[in-house]
Structure 1
C-alpha cells in the first residue's frame, strides 16, 4: 500500500492542467501492486482496487443462500457485502467532494490509506503477540 499511498499523495500536488495520460500510469502501477499483494480476506478471494468482481461474488453468494438454501454462502455473502458497501459509499462521497476539492480529493483517500495501514499494522502486531 505504501507505493499507492505515495503516488496518491503526490497526485494531489500536480497542477490541474497536466493531462491525465501523464498521471494515470503511475496510479495504475500503484493499484496493480496493491491488487497483486492483497488478494484474500478470511480465505475469500477479493479485489481491493475495483469492486465489480466483489459485487458479482456478493450477488452469487446471497442468491445461493436464498434460492438454494445453501447456509454456507451466508457468511461469504456477508463478507463480500462488507467489502462492497463501503467501496460504493466511498466512491459516491469522493464524487461529491470533487466538486469542492477537485484533484485534492485524492488526499482524503491517502489519509484513509494511512489509517488503514496503521489499523492493519496494529492488528498484525496483536495477532503476532497472541501467537507467541
Structure 2
C-alpha cells in the first residue's frame, strides 16, 4: 500500500495547529485564571517570582496546574505503553476537546477549570512528544526552542554559499511553528474581550482539525496497526 510522505503526527499541518493551540490555551488560561496550563516552567517561574506578592489563590492555581498536568502526562504514558492501534492519539485528544467545548457553557469554577484544562493539556503534550515537523524535531505547545531553531536555520540559509531546497524548507517549517504560536496567542487575546470564556472554542476547533487530519491520513494509508 502507498505510504504518506510523512506520518500524520509529523505533518506540517499538525505542527501549525498544535502551535496555535499552544499559544491560545496559555494566553486564555493566563487571562482567565492568572495561571498557565501548558508551559509549566512558566508556572514555576511565576511561583518563585511572585513569592513576595503572595496570593494564596494564584499560588494554589499554579500548583494545581503543575500537579494535574503531570498526572495527565503520566496517564498518557500509561496509555501509550499499552496502545494497540494508532487511534490511541485520538483518544488522548478527546478529553481536552470535550473540556474546551463544554466548560464555557458551565458555571465558572476556576479551580475545576484549571484542573481539567491542565490534565487535558498534559495528555496532549505526551501524545505528540517526539513528533517532528516533517523531518525536523520541534517543541509542541511552546515556542522558545522553536524560535532558536528558526534563527539557526535562517542563519544557515543566509550564510551558506550553497543552499538547497531542504535547508530553506527547514527554516520555513520552524518559522511556521513560531508564527502559528503567535497567531494562537493573538487570536485569543482578540477574542477574549468579545467572547470571554467562549474564546477557548478556538482551541476546540483546532483540536477537531488535528483529529480529523490524523484520522483521515491513518485510515487512507492503513496505518492503524503500524503508527504506534
After TM superposition, the score normalised by the length of structure 2 is 0.49
Greater CA deviation, 96-105 or 114-123?
A: 114-123
Unpaired segments of 5 or more residues in structure 1?
Answer: none
Q: Using the TM superposition, give the Cα deviation of residue 107 of structure 1 relative to its aligned residue in structure 2, in angstroms.
A: 1.7
**Paired residues for 1:28-107 under 5 Å:** 28-38=118-128, 39-41=130-132, 42-69=134-161, 71=163, 73-107=167-201
Q: Using the TM superposition, give the Cα deviation of residue 88 of structure 1 relative to its aligned residue in structure 2, in angstroms.
A: 1.4
Greater fraction of residues in helix: 1
Deviations 1:1-22 (A, max 9, x none): 2222122223323434x33x44
After TM superposition, the score normalised by the length of structure 1 is 0.79
Question: 4+ residue runs of structure 1 moved beyond 6 angstroms?
Answer: none
- Given that 1:35 and 1:47 are in contact with CA atoms closer than 8 Å, whether structure 2 keeps it comes out as no
State whether structure 2 residue 118 is matched by structure 1 residue 11.
no
Greater CA deviation, 3-12 or 88-97?
A: 3-12
Q: Using the TM superposition, give the Cα deviation of residue 69 of structure 1 relative to its aligned residue in structure 2, in angstroms.
A: 4.7
Q: RMSD of the alignment, in Å? A: 2.3
SS at 1:54's partner residue? helix
Greater CA deviation, 110-119 or 5-14?
A: 5-14
SS at 1:47's partner residue? coil
Q: Using the TM superposition, give the Cα deviation of residue 90 of structure 1 relative to its aligned residue in structure 2, in angstroms.
A: 2.1
Deviations 1:38-77 (A, max 9, x none): 1322232223322222222111211222234573542221
SS at 1:110's partner residue? helix
Distance in 1 between the 2:191 and 2:105 partners? 17
Name the structure, 1 or 2, with higher relative contact order (CA <8 Å, separation 6+). 2
